């Protein structure tokens, strides 16, 4: 009887062991399935993240190109196409912006006019006239190089053959020296001009004015003063620099 009981116990233990193994197998299978499901989810998530990053990079590139294009268009809006100097609109904007932030500090203005330029166009044609203005713009830029590098001077094409140079924080004597350097740079180019009444080459007359900015002055008063000086330079024989003192 004891042997029969032992066999029965062994059988029960075997059944329990099989049940446990089966249970463990089911648990392991469930864990494996869960792990695989998580791996699949992670893989899908990773693909979606990569797609999202790709879209973000593409969007950032578009934004960058749009910003660059807007910057280029803004520059073109304030640039004289022929001379690559600032245009008249930029000149007025710069002068007014500078005026508001430069109380009691000297600002100088040079107004230059090419002598007998109409006669130049009549003799050589408008294409030659355009090339002449480009060379004058180069002479102006060369004269401004190295001058008071702490300040940003503005050279602009003010009219057809007229040029304007705004010189922040520049006293009258220094502005006159810069204007004279511009005049000599233009003379040094020896651009032939058979229609000139004073020289066989292109020359420039210039007027200079300086004001300490304050409530009693305005950008217009600075321009008018430089224009008076330019008129004086022309009346005194041209190819010279005069100042409104």
Catalytic residues: 161
Question: H helices within 78-116, ranges in order?
Answer: 88-100
- For 42-64, give one letter per residue: b (16+ CB within 10 A) or e: eeeeeeeeeeeeeeeeeeeeeee
Residues 6+ apart with CB under 8 A from 188: 139
Distance linking the first and last C-alpha atoms of the chain: 138
Among the listed residues 169, 23, 43, 47, the one whose alpha carbon sits nearest the alpha carbon of residue 109: 169
Pair type for strands 106-114 and 204-212? antiparallel
Q: Are 228 and 244 in contact (CB under 8 A)?
A: yes
Sign of CA dihedral 213, 217, 219, 223: negative
Burial (Cβ within 10 Å: 0-12, 13-18, ≥19) of residue 133: buried
Handedness of CA 208, 214, 215, 219 (dihedral sign): positive
Is 91 in contact with 164 (CB distance < 8 Å)?
yes
Tokens of 205: 């007359």
């Amino acid at each position: 009887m004891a042997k029969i009981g032992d066999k029965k116990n062994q059988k029960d233990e075997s059944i329990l062991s099989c049940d446990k193994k089966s249970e463990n197998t089911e648990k392991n299978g469930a864990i494996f399935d869960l792990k695989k499901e998580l791996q699949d989810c992670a893989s899908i998530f990773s693909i979606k993240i990569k797609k999202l990053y790709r879209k973000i990079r593409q969007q950032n590139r578009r934004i960058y190109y749009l910003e660059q294009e807007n910057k280029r268009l803004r520059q073109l809006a304030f640039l004289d196409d022929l001379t690559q100097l600032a245009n008249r609109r930029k000149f007025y904007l710069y002068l007014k912006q500078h005026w508001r932030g430069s109380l009691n500090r000297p600002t100088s203005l040079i107004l230059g006019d090419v002598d007998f330029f109409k006669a130049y166009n009549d003799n050589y044609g408008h294409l030659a006239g355009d090339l002449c203005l480009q060379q004058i713009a180069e002479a102006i830029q060369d004269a401004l190089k190295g001058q008071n590098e702490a300040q940003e001077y503005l050279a602009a094409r003010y009219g057809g053959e007229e040029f304007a140079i705004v010189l922040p924080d520049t006293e009258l004597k220094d502005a006159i020296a810069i204007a004279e350097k511009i005049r000599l740079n233009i003379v040094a180019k020896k651009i032939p001009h058979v229609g000139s009444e004073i020289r066989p080459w292109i020359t420039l007359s210039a007027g200079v004015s300086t004001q300490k900015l304050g409530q009693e002055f305005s950008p217009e008063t600075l321009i008018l003063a430089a224009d008076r000086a330019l008129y004086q330079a022309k009346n005194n024989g041209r190819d010279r620099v005069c100042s409104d003192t």
